[in-house]
Structure 1
Amino acid sequence: MPSNESSPPAKGLGHLRHIPISYDSDNPSSSARELILALRPDWASPDSNIEFIPFKDGITNTLLKAVNRKNGLSDDEIDKEAVLLRAYGHGTDVLIDRHRETQNHELLMRCGLAPELLARFDNGMLYRYIRGTPTQPADLRKPSIYLAVARRIAQWHATVPCIHETHVQTNGANGSANGSHQAKIDHAAPGKPPPNVWTVMQKWILALPTETEAQRRRQANLQRELDSLIEELSQRPGLGENGLVFAHCDLLSGNVIIEPQSTEKANGRQTSVSFIDYEYATPSPAAFDLANHFAEWGGFECDYTAMPTRAQRLEFIREYVRTYFKLVPKRPSDVDEEEETQKLLEETDVFRGVPGFYWGIWALIQATISHIDFDYAEYAELRLGEYWGWRESTDEARGRAGKGLSAREKRWAQLE
């Protein structure tokens, strides 16, 4: 695949207003109100009527929509001033670089791909509400929507520059085990500037619990698998500079918003979508971002019968490629879009097992830190099972032994 030169990294990121207050999950109403009034002091007026509407599609953070239902305002006017309050899940700093997340949001905002970021607070952020309807897993399987998703992912990959940064090693703390860990993370994939999806997985493996012998064995096993994945996949050619694009890496249904104007069928209007929640966004092979999104067609229940068939993936990727090469700077003059479609279809097939590994490690950590009512341990086994099923399907020795394909692998191989 031809590469494109990324734009220079955006400068001046990270100068956002900070509100020195925390959201308290044990006292949600008053702490949320305190944060909103710090941002919008005019909402303390006698005619204000502040209301908080929870969103429950995610399994990491608390997300609240804050509105001021003053008398006489229409729903449109209320939504225009609405604010989203996102409080980080307990302990998730071990998984997510929050400074990096803020940079991601500001960068996407500059590219016209994210709502205005209004402020950070001690354990979260405040940003403008995007009007629209979050999709459900079943929506992702509708052609009008999955083609809209393909166009939006392509826009991200073609137009948003990757920001890379290497942690400078100094004397003191960085000379300790922490410094050694950071060096291992930064150099996880030779020749790939950090951060990237490989360094993220390396960071997560090093953060796995190791209190028991069983946990230590599991960490060592997962480290061996990551080493193998990096050796097999990290140097494959792909779109973007260094084979990396600015990827969302968490395109589950709740993070895909159908824009209001696209719900109107009049005049043959094309469906449009936006993406929210950029905490996992990082430079990644385009094929990983696509394979990861396809995995989300089955929702948190991992319904493998809902996975896209080869025909659906081909239709999606053909739309992606058409949009990507229309938007990418310095488009190659001799690009063959159908050839690029077939290449990316094959690459996405190659990466199909990696999302299970990625989210399996994530869930193992969440099982030890999260206060959210979700069975992360079971989810970890489901996602890692997807990875092992992929490994078995690509292991010739096991194939010769007559071991059958997993349910997920059978669905992925389905043509229509």
Structure 2
Amino acid sequence: MVAEVKIWNPIEVAEQARKDYPSQIFASHLTIDPSLSFPLMKPLIIKLCKDIFKAWSNLDDSFFHVEKISGGITNLLLKVSVKEENCIDDTIAIRLYGPNTEYIIDRHRELQAVKYLSAAGFGAKWLGIFGNGMVQSFINAHTLIPSDIRDPKLAAKVAKELRRFHHVDIPGSKEPQLWNDIWKFFEKASVLEFEESKMHKTYETISFREVHDEIVELKGLSDRLNSPVIFSHNDLLSANIMINDDEDKIYFIDYEYASYNYRGFDIANHFAEYAGFECDYNLYPNMNEQFHFFRHYIQPDRPHEVSEKDLETFYVETNTYVLASHLFWALWGLIQAKMSAIDFDYLSYFFLRYNEYKRQKEKCFSQAQSYLSGFKNE
């Protein structure tokens, strides 16, 4: 049985952060309802800024400019610019957590990652937390879209940055979290009840016995691949990659699912996101596109010197763990269908991911088993 996630206590976490980073992390007890209309939300955001940053507490509201950057399928991101008379603009980013996301996201684990990744120079600088979100420095860059990450030049940059990310040392347990998280999602997803009869009837068509058996079988196979355990982003979709074109620099953002995990899973999960939220798996990278990525991940400075054996290992590893990515996010989609207030068809998302798992299973299993047989006979 998987243990429940600890109760989220932002002030407790902030106090610990202050010990690690004196005078740098600020906290507020305030919460902001992410479902509010933007006109109603704006004054609350300003109030939050004044509460967190005491230097701004006496500023007139007219000095604050608030705008919505994005509204994804989990969180809401806001940009706040502060302009004092005769002073330079100061800009921050505020991320509001989606409703009920603590049900599937370990916020303590996330903030542990944010703390050390920020110190290591990844993403935005962590500035503070509040009742249902965090405050970070504003990154002067734009987010990518699925078609961007297919571009060979950008793919090479992402591969190189992911290699660097995978070498970060985060204190604490180094145990890979993939199967713990999948089982946690399975337990929650398999006992849901939907008030809307049509949704519940659709939900009841799912065979959780079948899903259970698929998880067991896939874990058994993937464990035999001995994929290295590294610190993994676990959610490297295009919207979590930003680029500053002037500086030619990319950033990985949003570490909600980050943990120690299998290298094959993190790369596979990124490849699966080539398909976008519409899950057009015709866009999943072919062998040549994957080899291009692997070369720049394995040897960024000498990509063409990567051996065929290494390419084969990465290819099999990645295309086995992509099945785990489908199971992970399929179950996640079921939980979100029940818990999230965001207008997204999470229930259909379950079937898109799970059906792709079943469609690819035979090919991926056969490929992995053939590889393992050859490896054993060497």
Instruction: Work out the CA distance in 1 between the residues paired with 2:17 and 2:208.
Output: 34
**Percent of paired sites with the same residue:** 29
Structure 1 position 59 matched with structure 2 position 73 = yes
Instruction: Work out the CA distance in 1 between the residues paired with 2:215 and 2:171.
Output: 23
What is the CA distance between 1:337 and its match in structure 2?
4.0
Encode CA deviations 1:38-73: one digit per residue, 9 max, x unaligned. 123443424852122213352101111111245667
Equivalent residue for 1:169? Answer: none
> Structure 2 residue aligned with 1:384, among 350, 354, 357?
354
What is the CA distance between 1:300 and its match in structure 2?
0.8
State how 1:193-272 maps to structure 2 within 5 Å. Answer: 194=175, 196-211=177-192, 218-238=207-227, 243-262=228-247, 271-272=248-249
What is the CA distance between 1:305 and its match in structure 2?
2.5
Encode CA deviations 1:220-240: one digit per residue, 9 max, x unaligned. 3322222222221134223xx
Select between 207-216 and 134-143 the one with higher mean Cα deviation: 207-216
Instruction: Work out the CA distance in 1 between the residues paired with 2:92 and 2:224.
Output: 42
Equivalent position SS for 2:322 = coil
Encode CA deviations 1:170-200: one digit per residue, 9 max, x unaligned. xxxxxxxxxxxxxxxxxxxxxxx54511111
What is the CA distance between 1:344 and its match in structure 2?
1.3
**Contact 2:176–2:229 (Cα < 8 Å) also in 1:** no
**Contact 2:295–2:311 (Cα < 8 Å) also in 1:** yes
Instruction: Work out the CA distance in 2 between the residues paired with 1:283 and 1:132.
Output: 27
Structure 1 position 151 matched with structure 2 position 167 = no
What residue ranges of structure 1 are gaps of 5+ in the alignment?
1-11, 166-192, 263-270, 327-335, 397-416
Equivalent residue for 2:98? Answer: 89
**Contact 1:88–1:123 (Cα < 8 Å) also in 2:** yes
Equivalent residue for 2:141? Answer: 132
Equivalent residue for 2:59? Answer: 45
What is the CA distance between 1:341 and its match in structure 2?
3.3
**Contact 1:57–1:254 (Cα < 8 Å) also in 2:** no
- Given the superposition, is the C-alpha separation of residues 226 and 47 from structure 1 closer, same or farther in structure 2, using an over 3 Å criterion? closer
Equivalent position SS for 2:166 = helix
- Given the superposition, is the C-alpha separation of residues 13 and 220 from structure 1 closer, same or farther in structure 2, using an over 3 Å criterion? farther
What is the CA distance between 1:93 and its match in structure 2?
0.8
Select between 205-214 and 98-107 the one with higher mean Cα deviation: 205-214
Query: What one-letter code is carried by the residue in structure 2 that aligns with 1:280?
Result: Y
Normalising by structure 2, what TM-score? 0.80
Equivalent residue for 1:116? Answer: 125
Equivalent residue for 2:5? Answer: none
Encode CA deviations 1:55-92: one digit per residue, 9 max, x unaligned. 3352101111111245667xxx53xx311111111111
Normalising by structure 1, what TM-score? 0.73
Equivalent position SS for 1:161 = coil
Equivalent residue for 1:346? Answer: 316
- Given the superposition, is the C-alpha separation of residues 289 and 51 from structure 1 closer, same or farther in structure 2, using an over 3 Å criterion? same
Instruction: Work out the CA distance in 2 between the residues paired with 1:356 and 1:303.
Output: 13
CA RMSD in angstroms comes to 2.7
Select between 342-351 and 45-54 the one with higher mean Cα deviation: 45-54
Equivalent residue for 2:169? Answer: 161
Encode CA deviations 1:248-273: one digit per residue, 9 max, x unaligned. 111111110012434xxxxxxxx431
Instruction: Work out the CA distance in 1 between the residues paired with 2:107 and 2:302.
Output: 32
Equivalent position SS for 1:23 = coil
Equivalent residue for 2:49? Answer: 36
Equivalent position SS for 2:189 = coil
What is the CA distance between 1:30 and its match in structure 2?
2.5
**Contact 1:210–1:219 (Cα < 8 Å) also in 2:** no
- Given the superposition, is the C-alpha separation of residues 46 and 351 from structure 1 closer, same or farther in structure 2, using an over 3 Å criterion? closer
**Contact 1:210–1:216 (Cα < 8 Å) also in 2:** no
Count how many residue pairs are aligned between Structure 1 and Structure 2.
331
- Given the superposition, is the C-alpha separation of residues 379 and 244 from structure 1 closer, same or farther in structure 2, using an over 3 Å criterion? same
Structure 1 position 107 matched with structure 2 position 112 = no
Instruction: Work out the CA distance in 1 between the residues paired with 2:205 and 2:150.
Output: 40
